[in-house]
């Protein structure tokens, strides 16, 4: 678990549903060197993910100055 890859190129999230006829889902797309993976979340799961990201971000060190 401590040897995770950090090779993600970018992450995008959108709340249009998958397909668009399902506005009750948020889709998180993760693009890596191995391709694209899509993950579907309901509202409760999306809010938990957002809360966890916010808590983790608050613990990050300040960016290094150039």
| Selection from 36, 35, 25, 28 nearest residue 12 by Cα | 28
**Going by C-beta distance under 8 Å and a sequence separation of 6 or more, which residues neighbour residue 18?**
25, 27, 38, 40
Examine residue 28 and state whether it is found in any structural domain, yes or no. yes
Residue found by looking up tokens 């959108």 in the block: 14
Q: Does a structural domain hold residue 5? A: no
Identify whether the C-beta of residue 43 lies closer than 8 Å to the C-beta of residue 24: yes
Number of compact structural domains in the chain: 1
| Residue 30 maps to a domain | yes
Q: Tell me which of 34 and 52 has the higher pLDDT.
A: 52
Tens of pLDDT, residues 20-43:
778 888 888 777 777 788 888 998
Rounded CA-CA distance 65/59 in Å is 18
- Residue 45 predicted with pLDDT over 90: yes
Report the pLDDT value the prediction gives residue 7, as an integer from 0 to 100: 60
């Amino acid at each position: 678990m401590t040897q995770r890859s950090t090779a993600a190129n970018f992450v995008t999230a959108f709340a249009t549903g998958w397909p668009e006829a399902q506005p009750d889902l948020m889709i998180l797309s993760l693009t890596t060197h191995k391709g694209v993976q899509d993950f579907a979340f309901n509202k409760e799961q999306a809010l938990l993910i957002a809360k966890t990201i916010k808590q983790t971000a608050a613990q990050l060190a300040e960016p290094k100055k150039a």
